[in-house]
Amino acid sequence: MLPRRGRSPAGSGWRRNWEAALSRRALITGITGQDGSYLAEHLIACGYEVWGLVRGQQNPRVRQLRQLLGDVRLIRGDLLDQGSLISAVEQVQPDEVYNLAAISYVPMSWQQAELTGEVTGLGVLRVLEAIRVCSGISASRSPGRGQIRFYQASSSEMFGMVRESPQNEQTPFHPRSPYGVAKTYGHFLTQNYRESYGMFAVSGILFNHESPRRGAEFVTRKISLGVARIKLGYEKQLRLGNLSARRDWGYAADYVRAMRLMLAGEEPADYVIGTGVTHTVGELLELAFKVAGLDWREHVVTDAAFIRPAEVDKLCADPSLARERLGWESKVGFEELVAMMVEADLALLSSGGHAEDSFGDSW
C-alpha cells in the first residue's frame, strides 16, 4: 500500500483551491494521443505535477510530446501488461489517474476486435486493479476508500443505435461496434468498482471532440487535411464514406476541462459531455471546403471502402447535468472549430510539414 505524500495546509477561497491543485499529482494513460496532450497542458496550467504512461521502445510521438510539454514526466507501461501498470501507480503515487489510452478508431475495432477488447475494454480493468492493489483495497464497499481518484474515457459510441435524442446519463446503451462494446464494458466496470469498493471512479461520456491534433484517420482531420492538400495542388480528390452520419462535434481543449472538474467534485458521478448541436458529415465538408474557397462537390468522391459494417447514424448530447453540477460548457462552436482545423492544416502543409509528424498546431 502506498505511503501518502504530505499536503499543504488549508487556506481559504481561491487560494485553497490553488494550493490544493499545486500539491496534486496526475497520471495520464494515452498521453501521446489528442486528449492526453490537451489534458496534460491543462493540468500543468492548474499547478499539477503530470506523469504520462508511454508504451513501446521507439514511440515517435514521445519525442513530439517532450518538445511540446517538457514538464511532463514519462513512465513506461502498457494497458496489456498488468505488472507495468501496478509499477507505474506504485512509482508515481498519483492523486488522480486519467485513463485515456485505447484503440480509439472505430473501423479498426472490426479488423482487430480481440485486441480492441483487450486494450479498450480489459485495459480499464487492469488500470482499476493497479489502483485497487496499490491502495490496499481488498474487501467490500466502504465509501471514500482509497485516495486515488480515477477518470475513465467513456464514449457516446456506447449509445450507438440511440433509444432517444438527445442522449443523457440515463439513456440506455446499444453499441454498434466492437469499440463501442469494449467502451461499454469499461464504463460498467468503472461504475462497479465505485459501487463494490467505494472508489472515487467516474466516467465522462464524451461526444466527438476534435482539434488540429486529431489523428488523420478521423473524419474531421481527414477532411481538413484533404482540403489543404487540394488547395495546395497536391491532390484533386477526397474519398469518404457515409456523408449523412450526424455527430455532435466539439473542441478537444474544452472537453479536457470537464475531465478535471469531474475528479474535483464532492461525489463521484458520470457525466455526458457534448455541445447539444449536431451536423452531418456533408455539412462539415461544405464548410471546410468553403473556408479554403473551394466547392466540395468538385472534389469529393464517395467510396464504399469507408462504409462501416454497422453505422451510428446520429449522436446528440444533452450536457445539462455537467452544466448544472460542474459549471462546464463548451466554448468553441462548430464553425470556429472547422476553420481552426483547416487553417492549421493549410499552415502545416505550406511549411513543408506532414500530418504524421504533427499533432497539429504547436507540436
Distance CA 28, CA 17 (A): 21
Q: Which does 32 bind (CB under 5 to 8 A by kind): ligand GDD, ligand NAP, none?
A: ligand NAP
CA 225 to chain centre: 21
Task: Check: CB of residue 11 under 8 Å from CB of residue 34.
Answer: no
Known catalytic residue at 179: yes
Can you give the length of the chain in residues? 363
Q: Name the segment binding ligand NAP (CB under 6 A); options: 31-39, 86-94, 141-149, 317-325.
A: 31-39
Task: Check: CB of residue 127 under 8 Å from CB of residue 150.
Answer: yes
Closest CA to 126 of 189, 67, 64, 208: 189
Start-to-end CA distance of the chain, whole Å, equals 38
Query: Counting contacts by CB under 6 A, is residue 59 touching ligand NAP?
Result: yes
Closest CA to 254 of 323, 159, 353: 323
Q: Which does 219 bind (CB under 5 to 8 A by kind): ligand GDD, ligand NAP, none?
A: ligand GDD
Name the residue type at position 178: P
Catalytic residue among 38, 98, 179, 193: 179
One residue of 241, 265, 276, 282 binding ligand GDD per CB under 6 A? 241
Distance CA 101, CA 141 (A): 27
Task: Check: CB of residue 102 under 8 Å from CB of residue 153.
Answer: yes
Catalytic residue among 84, 155, 156, 358: 155
Closest CA to 254 of 275, 225, 284, 223: 275
Q: Which does 306 bind (CB under 5 to 8 A by kind): ligand NAP, ligand GDD, none?
A: ligand GDD
Distance CA 287, CA 293 (A): 10
Phi and psi at 230, nearest 5°, equal -70, -45
C-beta of 94 vs 212, nearer to ligand GDD:
212
C-beta of 215 vs 353, nearer to ligand NAP:
215
Query: Counting contacts by CB under 6 A, is residue 207 touching ligand GDD?
Result: yes
Q: Name the segment binding ligand NAP (CB under 6 A); options: 34-42, 221-229, 302-310, 331-339.
A: 34-42
Q: Which does 353 bind (CB under 5 to 8 A by kind): ligand GDD, ligand NAP, none?
A: none
Catalytic residue among 157, 185, 193, 330: 157
C-beta of 3 vs 309, nearer to ligand GDD:
309
Q: Which H helix or E strand runs over 201?
A: strand 201-206
Active site residues: 155, 157, 179
Which residues would be at the binding site for ligand GDD (CB under 6 A)? 104, 106, 155-157, 207-208, 217-219, 222, 240-242, 245, 247, 281, 306, 308, 311-312, 315
Which residues would be at the binding site for ligand NAP (CB under 6 A)? 29-30, 32-36, 55-56, 59, 61, 78-80, 100-104, 119, 153, 155, 206, 208-209, 215
